[in-house]
């Protein structure tokens, strides 16, 4: 294992080899993860998992995306690559998790020493080494199962419910007098067990319970995000925008009625329009053509329903602008910051009362061509010391009700909160 690099440091001599892997379709990728530096990006049984660390970069501040992109480009330029599969996600890949703020928190780009991928019935194994020498192919087998957490307790983080509702009321008042149109406010919970929690346990639970989301883990940041910030693959770009939420009841007929209510809600449609507009405006300079649907659809998840829109485009600058730089252009969208963005970000720093860290920042992976998938780190948590900090946020507009927003935040804690429980 090599130590993490810093911007401006030496570029590693990366050697990558990808071979086809005979992996039983019944074997879940997450079950292969050992405890040593696990990384994951999974949806509906497909995706990438990895472990070990060939090399990594840590960076921070306003140049964190540019630093990481430059380092990866220089690493790839010097890399020796043998790719016998040729699928998206084969060859050299890096995994990243980025701070929400330009001013607080660190960001990481990690190159595992082993990556296993699956897509469309094909599986592969990639070894990566920064030593300049081809690494031997390891045996791939189901790892020892993680132990279930015991005696997990939850406590309020920076603000309790009453304090957070007061912050929401403050935001609504500022929106009402025209300071801004929308702001996203988040809150946190802290979970602790009787002994340290193996992050692979919640990863297993999240992949099982939320297969339509992207389950991720990179450098102690994990979750199951329903929101794809940007996917770029062979010249095509996609962004899934979510804004506007209603909690499910568990009664199918009642939930169908609630979905119809959500689809007609002026408050939620307004919030959603801001988010879609911010994404389309950010992608437009990079696309020769775009498709922005006129109306959202309702995305049904086990705990909530969202208004959702898939924005698609054809990129014209793939040779010079990577998927990570597209993620930078999109971050922070109105779905996680607000409108206007600069005013909303200042208000978040003023009244939210906590450091988001990498919550609501881009998380995902990128290959040697700059293609990749970057989600937004929502329905997420961070391993911090002997505890785990869970995050949830809500879009606040003029019609927002503090009690309803608190209930929505509680619903958004459910995926990770349930995943930390035992069987």
Active site residues: 182, 227
Q: What is the DSSP string of 304-359?
A: EEEEEEEEEEEES-TTT--HHHHHHHHPSPTTTSEESHHHHHHHHHHHS-S--TTT
Name the one residue in this structure whose structure tokens are 């988001």.
356
Cα separations in angstroms, 94 against 71, 76, 159, 237, 412: 11, 10, 35, 19, 28
Q: Which residues of 320-331 are buried (b: 16+ CB within 10 A; e: fewer)?
A: ebbbbbbbbbbb
* CA distance linking residue 64 with residue 115, whole number of Å: 24
Which residue from 134, 108, 122, 98 is spatially nearest to 3, judged by alpha carbons? Answer: 108
Residue 329 phi, psi dihedral angles, 5° rounding: -65, -30
Q: What is the DSSP string of 147-181?
A: PPP-S-EEEE-SS-HHHHHHHHHHHHHHHHTTS-S
């Amino acid at each position: 294992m090599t130590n993490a690099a810093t911007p401006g440091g030496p570029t590693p001599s990366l050697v990558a080899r990808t071979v086809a892997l005979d992996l039983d379709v019944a074997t879940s990728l997450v079950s292969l993860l050992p405890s040593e530096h696990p990384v994951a990006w999974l949806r509906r049984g497909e995706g990438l998992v990895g472990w070990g660390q060939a090399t990594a970069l840590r960076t921070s501040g306003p140049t964190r995306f540019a630093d990481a992109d430059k380092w990866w480009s220089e690493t790839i330029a010097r890399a020796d690559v043998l790719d016998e599969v040729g699928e998206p996600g084969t060859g050299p890949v890096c995994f990243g998790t980025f701070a929400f703020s330009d001013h607080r928190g660190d960001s990481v780009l990690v190159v595992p020493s082993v990556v296993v991928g699956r897509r469309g019935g094909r599986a592969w194994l990639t070894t990566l080494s920064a030593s300049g020498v081809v690494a031997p192919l390891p045996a791939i087998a189901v790892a020892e199962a993680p132990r279930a957490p015991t005696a997990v307790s939850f406590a309020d983080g920076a603000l309790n419910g009453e304090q957070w509702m007061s912050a929401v009321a403050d935001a609504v008042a500022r929106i009402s007098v025209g300071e801004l149109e929308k702001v996203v406010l988040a809150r946190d919970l802290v979970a602790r067990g009787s002994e340290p929690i193996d992050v692979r346990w919640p990863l297993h639970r999240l992949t099982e319970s939320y297969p339509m989301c992207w389950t991720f883990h990179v450098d102690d940041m994990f979750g199951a995000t329903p929101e794809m910030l940007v996917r770029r693959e062979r010249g095509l770009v996609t962004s899934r925008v979510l804004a506007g939420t209603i909690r499910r009841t568990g009664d199918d007929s009642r939930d169908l009625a609630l979905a119809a209510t959500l689809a007609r809600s002026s408050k939620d449609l307004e919030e959603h329009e801001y988010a879609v507009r911010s994404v389309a405006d950010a992608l437009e300079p990079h696309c020769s053509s775009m498709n922005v649907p006129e109306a959202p659809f309702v995305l049904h998840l086990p705990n909530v329903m969202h208004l959702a829109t898939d924005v698609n485009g054809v990129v014209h600058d793939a040779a010079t602008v990577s998927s990570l730089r597209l993620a930078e252009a999109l971050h922070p969208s109105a779905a996680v910051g607000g409108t206007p963005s600069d005013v909303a970000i200042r208000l978040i720093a003023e009244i939210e009362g906590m450091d988001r860290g990498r919550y609501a920042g881009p998380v995902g992976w990128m290959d040697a061509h700059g293609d990749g998938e970057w989600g937004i780190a929502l329905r997420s948590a961070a391993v911090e010391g002997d505890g785990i900090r869970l995050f949830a946020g809500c879009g606040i507009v003029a019609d927002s009700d503090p009690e309803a927003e608190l209930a929505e935040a509680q619903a958004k804690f459910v995926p990770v909160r349930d995943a930390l429980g035992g069987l």
